[in-house]
Each structure stands twice: as structure tokens, then as C-alpha cells.
Amino acid sequence: MIFRNLKMRTVMITIVALTTFVGIFLLCLLASLNSNTMLRDKVNDNMSTYLDAQERSIEKFVQESEQKLILFSKAKDIEDILLEDAKDRASNPDRTPENENAEYFSTNLKSYNSAQNYTLDYFQSLTNWEGLYIGNLNSTVLTYNAVPVIGRTLRSGDSLKELMDLIAANKNGVYDAGIMVSKGSGQLCLSMYAAVVKDDEIIGYVGAGVFNTELENILEGNKISGIEDSNFYMINSKTGVLFTATDEAEREFIAEETENPILRDVMKRIEAGEADGHYEYSDADYQNGEKVVVNYESVPGRDWAVILTADKDALYEASNKNLRNMFIIGALAFVIILALVALSITLLTNPLVKVTGAIKELGKLNLEKNAEVSRRANDRNEVGIISHEIEELRKSLSSIVNTLKGCSTSLDSSAGSMSVNSKDLVGFVSDNTATTQELAASLSSTGSIVDTVNGNIRHMNKLVENVANSVKEGSEQSGNILAAAESMEQKSAQTLYESKRNITENKAAVQDVMGKLRTLSKINTFVNDILSIATQTKLLSLNASIEAARAGEQGKGFSVVATEIGTLASNTSSAAQKIQDITRLTNESIDETVKCFDELNEYLEKDIMKKFEEFNAEAQNNNRITNDLINNINEVSKNIVEFKQFVNELVDQMDEIKMLSEQNSAGIDDIVDKNEHTSKIAEDMVGAVTVNKSNAQALSEIISKFNGN
């Protein structure tokens, strides 16, 4: 392992350092993720809340403007001038748009002055309104806060029809055309129309334009907290016209179609069905590729959208700063913890280092008493336990060394006397053994040669017997194989014969059955006869009907009979036709069946019978091979019997030679055995003396290595 060659103190400090680092890092990372998640959620909530407030401000502004217009439309003066204008238009066919103006209306419409004054007074009570007017069903302006506009026809043709349809669809409320660029002032205005209804019929309408500046002031008055460097936009989500913007760079494009890529991206999302959303926008070509957080909402029921954007880095600057501070604090904590751990581990392992020194001294065979080990031997901690065991080990080693000293002295003294006696005994035995061994060596060599030859011959005899047995078993098995081969050949021939016979019989039976089935085709002949009779019956019925018609009143009864006969003929013809169809299908099925049986017979004759013939030929060939094999085995068996007799005679002769050799060497062997036994005892004594001397010397050397004894 990686820590095997390191000190325990180093390993412990390293493990604690790694564990502490990983823990602090994961803690900081988790805190960072939670902080970012909470900040992101808070930012999203703040942006959504701000947009909701802006949306409510827009809705409130629009509703208040609509209520003011509805209130204006309810005046009696407006109803009077519209009814009077309709009456004047109906009674004055010479009236044209060219002569319609304030002077004409004041001359010909008694209610004009009252309605115009009401329009001016109401307009004066309003703030930030561009215009307020009354229009008839032709969109001709009857009253207006600016007199030169009175008498103008604002729309005609399809444009007029579209406007009146929209006003009619909102008969009980206001048709809000949205914020658009005013043709008169060139400024953005909220364009509204309210129907004037009499007896549930629209007799005209009132229209107004409210400058967008008031809405801008309202929207700019709403502040967002906790989000710096943010920008608010309001656009037409279909046309892309910019209504308002807090971004100074975009304000010069108000009332124009925006080219801002973020706003165009929001339009695409709304068009794709995402009515609101929160996402990060990044474009390398926009603001140097900086990421922008975008939150947008569509205004329900209107083609408007409110959008809030903020720079991501500025938005999360506080979180990033907290994250940096957190990692700095974590690093400081890591350093402090590591220092404390290193100090603690050093203090705790110092006694262990001293105890380790005592173990090293024991390794050097120094049995002197260690003061530090003795002092800590009674402690109950791990160092005390180790110290106690070291002291016990030192005492045990000292006792063993003392015992070995006594044994070494005793061995050394006894080894001297045994050495002198054993040398004399070895000399005597060596002389007797040398002479006897020379004679025994000659006889032993002869006997060894005889044993070797006899063993080889017996082994040869055994091999011959094994071969004979194998040949005998092979002969018996060949007989079984021959019987099986003959049986296979007979069964194959019988099966081939029976298969040929069965195929021939099946073919004849199928042909007989097919012949019988084909007799069904005669049904067609009978059916044709039935059809012919039915046709003649129809003709007879027709002629009878004609004759009955000629007979007049007296032939009515006969006419009924003729009709029934005709019906019977038709039914008979229909039934015969069905029988004919069934017969045709039956004949087709018979043809298919005949075809299938022909293919089956062809398969049996060409494939199955061919395989049976090949199998029968192979069985005959196997029978011939088996007969040849049995003949060869019988010949080998005869030769092996003769060779076995020769080997048996040779074994008997070798047994006689061996018996004579054993009788001659029996006496010599007995003498040699006794001399060898005596010589071995003497050698063992010499060896024991040598070993005892070596052991005594080794013990002395071991004892001399120990210190303190």
C-alpha cells in the first residue's frame, strides 16, 4: 500500500488532512449550490413579482381608460346627435363627405352644439388623452376635441366593415385596438372604441386615443428591489413595436419595430406558445457575449408582452462574493484544523516513538531494562499495553538465554569423550566391512543382472497376455458388430421394399380418390340443365302473363299463377347459379389437392426412396468391412498364442538361474548386513559427536550476542 513505508504520525495527519479538505470543500460546494439556487429562485420571484405588478398596472390603466370612454358614451347628447345625423342623412341624399364639417353640422343638426360642448368639457377633464370624438356608422366624425377634424370620414370599405364588426362584437363594452402610432401626432396611443346602443341596435360609436406617456410614467414608477442594472420593456408581441423601455439606448426606438435580439427572441417564444418564461440569454454578438437573465410575461387578452432583463454577472455578484468569502474561510479553517491535528497527533505519538525505540533495542538483542518502558508498563492506554508486553518479552528472552548457557556447557563436555570412543569403533568396523563388501559386490552384481532380465521377460509375458485378451475381446465385439451389421442390412432392405410398396399403394389410392372426386364435375352438367329449364320456365311465365293480359278480367287468376311460376323460375335459377359457384370452387380445390399429392409422391419417389437405397448400400458395405476385420483378428490371435508359449519357456529357464544365484549369495549377504549395521552405528556416533560440538558452539555464539546477561 501507499502508506506502508510512512510513519503512523504522517499517515494519520495525511488522512485527517484529506478528510478535512474533502469535507470543507463539499460543505462549501453544497452551500454554494444552495446559495445560488436560493438566489436564482429569489431573483426569479422578484422579477416575476415585478412583471406581475407591471401587468396589473397596465390592466388597471387600460380598464380605467375604457371606463372613462364607456361613461362618455352613455350621455344623452351623444344619442341625440347620432339619431339626428341618421335622420338627416336619410332625408338629404345630396349630403356628401365634401360638405360635411362643423359648420354644416351646426346648421343642420340641432343637437350638435350641445354634443360638441359635452365632448370638449369631457376631454378637458381628462389627462394625457390625445383625442375624443363621436362617429356615426360611416365613421364620419360628428364631434371632436379638435374642430378641424370634424366631418372627416376615418374609414371606408373593408376597413370600415372590419371596425364595425369588432365594435359589434364588443357591443356592451370597449373594443381595444391596442397601442399604436397615432396618424395625427405620431406618438404611441391606446386606441379605443365603444358602441352607442339604442333599443339594442348600434347607432354609432365613440372613439378615443390615450397617450402612452401616462402608462410609461406608471410603469417607470414601479421599482424593483434586489436587482441592479435591470431593464424593463413593453412590446407588441406580434408586430414587435416597442411601447416603452427603461434602457436609454432603446428609448430612441420607441414606436418603432424593435431590433433588439432579446426582445425578438421573446417574440419567437410567445409565438411558439410559451406565454411566459424565465431563462438565460447568451449571444456572442450581443453585449460582448455577456449572459443576460430574461423574465417575460404576456398580457392576457392582448398582443402585449412585458419583459425584464438583467446582467447575470451583476445579478449574481453578491452570491459570487459570498462564495469567494466562504472558500477563503474554508481554507483558513482547513489550515487551522490541520495545525491542531498535527500538534495533537505529535503529542499523542511521542510516547509511542520512545516505546518503538525499546523494540528496536530488543531487535538488536539488547536485554538491558528500558526506563521509559518500565515507567509506562502500568498505563492502561495502548502505549502502556505495548510497554508491558515488551517488558514481559525482555524477561522471557533473559530466562531463555540463561537456560541455553547451562545446556551449552553440558553439551561441550560430553561431546569430548564421545568423540574419542567413536573414532576407534569406526576404524575397526571399516576394516571388516571392506573385505566382505568386495565378495558381496560380485554376487550382488550377478543377481542384479538376473533379476533385471527376469523382470523384463515377465513384463513381456504380461504384455503378451494383455494383447491376447484385447484380441479376444476384439474378436467377440467384432462378432457383435457383424451381427448388428447383418441385422441392419436386412432391416434396411425390408424397409426399402415396404416403402416402395407403400408409395405405390398410396399413389394408386390417391389416383382412385381423385378420380371419384372429379365425378363431382358432372354436377355442372345438371346445373346447366336446371338453368336451361329455369330460363324456359321464365319464358313460359312471360307468355302466360301476356295471354292473361289479353284475356282481360277473365285471365287475372291465370296471371297470378304465371307470376308465381316466374318467381319460382327466378329462385331456381339463383339456386342453380350458387350450386354452380360451389361446384367451381370444389373443382379448383380438387385440382389443388391433386397437385399437392403429385408433389408428395414425387418427393417420396425422388428423395425418400433415394435416401433409403443409399442407406441400404452403406449397410451392405459395413457388413463386408466387418467380415474382413474378423478374419484379420483371428490371424493375429493365432500368432500371439505361439509367441506366448515361447515366452513362458524362457521365464522358466530364468527362474532356475535366479534360484542358484540366491543360494550362493545368502551367506555373504548375512555377513555384509551385520558389518553394515555396525558401521552405521559407529558413523551415527561420530555424526552425533560432531553435531553436539556444532550445537554447543552455536549456542555459545547466540548467547554472546545478547547484552545485559
Provide the grid cell at 342. 498535527
Give the alpha-carbon dihedral of 117, 122, 125, 130, to 10 degrees.
-100
Cell of 105: 353640422
What are the pLDDT digits (tens) for 333-384? 888 988 888 887 777 666 666 667 777 766 766 767 777 677 776 777 666 7
- Cell numbers describing residue 495: 424397409
User: Mean pLDDT across the stretch 511-520?
Assistant: 66
What confidence score (pLDDT) does residue 636 get?
60
What is the three-class DSSP state of 304? strand
**Residue spans of alpha helices (H) in 380-521:** 382-518
For residue 239 the three cell numbers come to 408586430
What letter would DSSP give residue 284? Answer: T
CA distance 67 to 511: 103
How confident is residue 479, by pLDDT bands cut at 50, 70 and 90?
A: low
C-alpha 269/C-alpha 248 separation (Å) is: 25
Over residues 556-563, mean pLDDT: 70
CB 153 within 8 A of CB 133: no
Residue 138 is classified by DSSP as T
Diameter of the chain measured on Cα atoms:
179
Q: Mean per-residue pLDDT for 190-201? A: 93
CA-to-CA separations, 660 to 383, 665, 673, in angstroms, rounded: 83, 9, 20
Q: How far apart are CA 451 and CA 444, in angstroms?
A: 10
C-alpha cell, 399: 530466562
Cβ proximity of 526 and 533 under 8 Å: no
Between 196 and 337, residue with greater pLDDT:
196
pLDDT at residue 312, as a whole number: 79
d(CA 386, CA 603): 95
More reliable by pLDDT, 395 or 558: 395
pLDDT band for 623, please (50, 70, 90 cuts): low
Q: Which grid coordinates belong to 501?
A: 410398396
Residues 591 and 160: their CA atoms lie apart, in Å, by 82
Does 196 have pLDDT greater than 80? yes
Q: Of the spans 22-36, 49-63, 576-590, 637-651, which averages the highest pLDDT? A: 49-63
Q: What is the pLDDT of residues 665-695, one digit of tens each?
A: 665 566 557 656 656 765 666 676 677 667 6
Q: Which residue has the cell 370599405?
A: 157
Average per-residue pLDDT for the chain? 76
Q: What is the pLDDT of residues 625-679, one digit of tens each?
A: 667 766 766 776 676 667 667 657 766 766 765 676 566 566 556 655 765 665 6
How confident is the model at residue 295, as a pLDDT? Answer: 92
pLDDT value at 18 more than 60: yes
Among 31-40, 99-108, 180-189, 538-547, the minimum mean pLDDT is found in 31-40
Number of Cβ within 10 Å of residue 456's Cβ equals: 11
Residue 1 pLDDT exceeds 60: no
What is the Cα–Cα distance from 671 to 435, expressed in whole angstroms? 11
CB 503 within 8 A of CB 605: yes
* Stretch among 55-69, 75-89, 258-272, 691-705 having the lowest mean pLDDT: 691-705
Q: How far apart are the first and last CA of the chain?
A: 40
Q: Cα–Cα distance between 8 and 10 in angstroms, integer?
A: 5
For 301-319, write each residue's pLDDT tens digit: 888 999 998 887 776 666 6
Burial zone of 354 (CB within 10 Å; 0-12 exposed, 13-18 middle, 19+ buried): middle
Looking at residues 5-12, what average pLDDT do you find?
A: 68
Categorize the per-residue pLDDT at 84 as very low, low, confident or very high, splitting at 50, 70 and 90.
very high
Give the residue among 535, 537, 556, 538 at the shortest CA–CA distance from 547. Answer: 556
What would the mean pLDDT of 581-593 be, rounded to a whole number?
Answer: 72
pLDDT reading at 514 higher than 70 = no
Return the pLDDT at 706. 58
Among left, alpha and beta (phi > 0; psi -120 to 50; other), residue 98 is alpha
Q: How confident is the model at residue 74 (pLDDT cuts 50, 70, 90)?
A: very high
- Best CA proximity match to 398, nearest among 362, 364, 367, 357: 367
CA atoms within 13 A on the CB side of 425: 18
Crossing angle of helices 317-363 and 8-73, in 10° steps, is 170
Q: What is the pLDDT of residue 270?
A: 92
Amino acid identity at 135 = G
Tell me what pLDDT residue 137 has: 93
For residue 397, give the C-alpha cell.
528472552
Sheet holding 174-181, edge to edge: 141-144, 129-135, 201-211, 188-198, 174-181
Instruction: Give the lowest-confidence range in 402-416, 490-504, 540-554.
Output: 402-416
Q: What percent of the chain has pLDDT over 70?
A: 64
* Lowest mean pLDDT, pick from 171-180, 325-334, 489-498: 489-498
Answer for the pair 201, 183: CB distance below 8 angstroms, yes or no: no
